Chains A and B, each alone.
Chain A
Amino acid sequence: MISFMPNEDEISFVDVAKSFAIEHLRPRSRLIEETGEVPDDMAGKLQELGFTTLELLESFDGLELPLVSQVQVLEALSFGDLAAVQGLPGFNETASFIRANPENPLFVSLKDKRPTGSLLVNPFHHSLTIQTNRNGYRLNGVSIPVKMGEVSTLLIIAGVDENREDVLLLLEKETHQWKSVIGDRRLGLLASKCARLQFDQLEVPEDCVLARGEAARQVTRDALARIRILEAAKEVGTMAAALAYATEYTAGRKAFGQEIAKFQGVSFTAAQMAIQTQGARNLVWHAAKKLDDQEPDAIQASLSALHFAHRAVRFVTDSAVQLLGGHGYVQDHPVEKWMRDAQAQVNLWESETELLVKSGEYLLLGKEGNG
């Protein structure tokens, strides 16, 4: 039966997440941006509450929640501050790869570890090469910036070798040294510790290969679908925050003798923000449910959900700044930060065009094209 009603556990969990977001994350979001990191006490509390292990398998001491539950919790947390959510320690995106391929012996060996994970999706044409050699692979060059790259101790690389064969590698910093190249970042998500990863002829032995060829492609496809949905949910949280803030502001701000909300140029913009936010939320929940139920079109749904969320979060956060006018542009209000964070978020997680083209390939060919 069609229902949009969360279950009782989800309602309780979201309640805790929303309270934490409002009481702790939001008030400290500027400080988090200035220092470029989530304070230890806050990260510790979030870990204690289980918010950093929503996706992680129970056998790894995670909560192993279904996606449809996770997306609600992540939206609630991101309502406080997206950048803080993106700057938390834990397995992060690597948890989705573990979830997509739980029997892999390389993952099993990570059970008792508490790493900070990063994911590098490295298609053939980037400045990092993956060359086959007798013992496995050799990595050389500098990657694109990856989230938590500055501090990560666990790295999954979904790449392509010189023969255009897909390969999935698992590296741990304690055994495979790479350097973090920290750039001069100013746009947004400054607490997410994005950094390029530099590999100097790094030898990666066979026992670090998670999968190759079609197997690698399949695990990556499944994991990326999960990640897309989780990232889209965070974007919905930012939209909800921007909508709520702009609505309250325009209800109180007066111009030409009345609250500016009474001008339709303002109120209609707020209405469009609300429609886009709800549209994105529904697509995220729907895609999450499809993936939980392993429906055949779940990957295509994940592409749609993230594309819609990308477009909507840019529109909603930009509109919030616009509705606050000059006050929105200065840093006395959080909306300018949310707009920067939103654009940075969109940059990190697949381009909008790429998402649409891939989605279209599923619709037309029933599979992803060869690029």
Chain B
Amino acid sequence: MISYELEPQQQQVKEIVHWFAENEMRPISMLADKLANVPDDWLRKVNNIGISMSTSTLGEGSKSEGQKKERQGNRLAVIATEELAWGDAAIALTLPGPGLGGPPIQHSGTPEQKQRFLSIFSRDEEPRWGAYALTEPEAGSDVSGIQTTAVKTKGGYILNGQKIFITNGKRASWVVAFATINKELGRAGHRAFVVEKGTPGFSCSRVAHKMGLRASETAELVFEDCFVPDENLLGGEEYYESKGSGPSGFRVAMKTFDTTRPIIAAMATGIARGAYEYTIDLIKKEYPLHGRQFQMAAETLASIQQSIEAARLLTWESAWKADLGLPNAKEAAMCKAFAGKMALESTSKCLELLGPIGLENHIVEKMYRDAKIFDIFEGTNQIQQLIVARHLYEPFGIRV
């Protein structure tokens, strides 16, 4: 049955996360942006109270009839993520936890790897992070073109190459890194490795300065003759051998996107909603409630509000499909494409309503800067359109 009603658990999570976003994130939002860092003591505090960027519930759902209860991890995640990003997207991305590295381990890792890498996140210890390293200087949107090599050696692989734009890459306890065992094999040669912090030959060469999301760490990573043991090959050797020439690290990367793109779309929606709610509050206080100015504001706010709603519904639909174990690559791309663009347009319209005062010490200008990346990372808007188009033309046997 078609329904948009949140389950009691979903509603409770939404309220708790919103409270946290409003009372813990927002107060440090502007400071963190200025410092280009989230204060360590704050991170320790939130880790101790058990707040994390948990992505371990994401992944494929199940259609099996034996299951008593429908999985809802993906829906729960997008609901919670929208609230976190409403508070501050950069801080949300910096919350301790496996981050975007969680989903590939969750759905492609061996039981031993899941235990080893996903169990390190504990409120009783120092905060820890996971990361996801795919992009390279010469391979961004074209994931298949990665140049980082993995050469088989006794007991493991030797990695050489460079990764860029890696969220939490410097502070992460481990990074899911993609490399090729043979460039001539193309996508079939891709493998995903979990590279642990401190591994000889693995280092962070730079933390990038950015237009927005300044408090979120964006690292460049280098692998120089970096030995990674066999047990850190995601899924293990058998995973690749048993599936013949089809699946590969490339498949792992693509599967990850199906679950992380709705999360990114939810973040974009949260930013837009944050800007919208801030602006409408201000307009209610400071604008006249009639006349041309009021009409213009009403029109603009209504346009923003309906775009936010549309983005949220596309995102929920994609997450719902993932929970049911239905293919959702097209829907994940649709919500990401729509929400990424919408967030920038919405924050821009909010700035327009605020006028020149919006440039000074109003969180909306930060949200505008933050929003832009959501039209780029986890696949640019153009890549999302390409994916949607591929699904549209697939029934006609046309590969676009």
- Which residues from chain A sit less than 8 Å from chain B, CB to CB? 1-7, 68, 247-248, 251-252, 259, 261-262, 264, 267-268, 270-272, 274-275, 278-280, 282-283, 285-286, 289, 301, 303-304, 307-308, 353, 355-361, 363-365, 369
Interface residues on B, range: 35 or more
Select one of B4, B298, B306, B389 contacting A271, CB under 8 A. B389
Beyond the given A247-B393, A359-B305, please list 15 additional residue pairs across the A-B interface where CB-CB is below 8 A. A1-B10, A2-B4, A267-B386, A268-B386, A271-B385, A278-B317, A279-B313, A303-B302, A304-B302, A304-B305, A353-B299, A359-B298, A360-B302, A364-B284, A364-B297
Once the chains bind, are A1 and B7 in contact (CB under 8 Å)?
A: yes
How far apart are the CA atoms of A248 and B303 in the complex, in Å?
Answer: 32
User: B299-314: contact bitstring with A at CB < 8 Å (1 yes, 0 no)?
Assistant: 1111101100110011
Q: Would A3 and B2 be within 8 Å (CB), given that A262-B400, A356-B299 are in contact?
A: yes
Q: What are 6 A-B residue pairs whose CB atoms fall within 8 Å in the complex?
A: A7-B1, A268-B385, A270-B389, A275-B337, A283-B310, A360-B299
Tell me if B3 counts as interface (CB < 8 A to partner A): yes
Name the interface residues of B357-400: CB closer than 8 Å to any CB of A.
382, 384-386, 388-389, 392-393, 396-400
Q: Would A283 and B2 be within 8 Å (CB), given that A304-B305, A308-B306, A363-B280 are in contact?
A: no
Specify which chain A residues have a CB less than 8 angstroms from the CB of B389 in the assembled complex: 261, 264, 267-268, 270-271
Q: Would A361 and B298 be within 8 Å (CB), given that A286-B4, A289-B4 are in contact?
A: yes
6 shortest A-B CB distances, which residue pairs? Answer: A360-B298, A251-B396, A359-B302, A267-B389, A282-B313, A304-B306
Most B CB within 10 A of own CB, among A359, A360, A369: A360
* CB < 8 Å A-B pair total: 158
Q: Would A356 and B298 be within 8 Å (CB), given that A2-B320, A283-B313, A365-B289 are in contact?
A: yes
How far apart are the CA atoms of A278 and B313 in the complex, in Å?
Answer: 10
Select one of A267, A289, A304 contacting B309, CB under 8 A. A304
Interface of A is mostly: helix
Once the chains bind, are B392 and A247 in contact (CB under 8 Å)?
A: yes
Select one of B2, B295, B317 contacting A68, CB under 8 A. B2
Specify which chain B residues have a CB less than 8 angstroms from the CB of A251 in the assembled complex: 393, 396-398
Specify which chain B residues have a CB less than 8 angstroms from the CB of A356 in the assembled complex: 298-299, 302-303
Once the chains bind, are A248 and B305 in contact (CB under 8 Å)?
A: no
Tell me if B122 counts as interface (CB < 8 A to partner A): no
Which partner residue on chain A sits nearest B287 by CB separation? Answer: A364
Specify which chain A residues have a CB less than 8 angstroms from the CB of B257 in the assembled complex: none
What's the nearest-Cβ distance from chain B to residue A99, in Å? 19
Which partner residue on chain B sits nearest A301 by CB separation? Answer: B309
Tell me if B70 counts as interface (CB < 8 A to partner A): yes
Specify which chain B residues have a CB less than 8 angstroms from the CB of A270 in the assembled complex: 388-389, 392-393
Select one of B6, B397, B399 contacting A2, CB under 8 A. B6
Most B CB within 10 A of own CB, among A2, A264, A268, A365: A2
How far apart are the CA atoms of A286 and B283 in the complex, in Å?
Answer: 27
Which partner residue on chain A sits nearest B305 by CB separation? Answer: A363
Specify which chain B residues have a CB less than 8 angstroms from the CB of A361 in the assembled complex: 298
Q: Would A364 and B301 be within 8 Å (CB), given that A7-B1, A251-B393 are in contact?
A: yes
Once the chains bind, are B309 and A286 in contact (CB under 8 Å)?
A: yes
How far apart are the CA atoms of A358 and B303 in the complex, in Å?
Answer: 11
How far apart are the CA atoms of A361 and B388 in the complex, in Å?
Answer: 36
Which partner residue on chain B sits nearest A362 by CB separation? Answer: B302
Specify which chain B residues have a CB less than 8 angstroms from the CB of A247 in the assembled complex: 392-393, 396
Once the chains bind, are A364 and B283 in contact (CB under 8 Å)?
A: yes
Specify which chain B residues have a CB less than 8 angstroms from the CB of A272 in the assembled complex: 385
Specify which chain A residues have a CB less than 8 angstroms from the CB of B297 in the assembled complex: 360, 364
Q: Would A357 and B295 be within 8 Å (CB), given that A267-B393, A274-B392 are in contact?
A: yes
Specify which chain B residues have a CB less than 8 angstroms from the CB of A268 in the assembled complex: 382, 385-386, 389
Select one of B1, B334, B382 contacting A278, CB under 8 A. B334
Once the chains bind, are B398 and A289 in contact (CB under 8 Å)?
A: no
What's the nearest-Cβ distance from chain A to residue B44, in Å? 34
Which partner residue on chain A sits nearest B75 by CB separation? Answer: A2
How far apart are the CA atoms of A272 and B384 in the complex, in Å?
Answer: 10
How far apart are the CA atoms of A52 and B399 in the complex, in Å?
Answer: 42
Once the chains bind, are B5 and A261 in contact (CB under 8 Å)?
A: no
Specify which chain A residues have a CB less than 8 angstroms from the CB of B75 in the assembled complex: 2
Specify which chain B residues have a CB less than 8 angstroms from the CB of A68 in the assembled complex: 2
Which partner residue on chain B sits nearest A72 by CB separation? Answer: B2
Once the chains bind, are B388 and A275 in contact (CB under 8 Å)?
A: yes
Tell me if B54 counts as interface (CB < 8 A to partner A): no
What's the nearest-Cβ distance from chain A to residue B18, in Å? 17
Once the chains bind, are A285 and B392 in contact (CB under 8 Å)?
A: no
What's the nearest-Cβ distance from chain A to residue B226, in Å? 37
Specify which chain A residues have a CB less than 8 angstroms from the CB of B227 in the assembled complex: none
Once the chains bind, are A3 and B309 in contact (CB under 8 Å)?
A: no
How far apart are the CA atoms of A251 and B398 in the complex, in Å?
Answer: 7
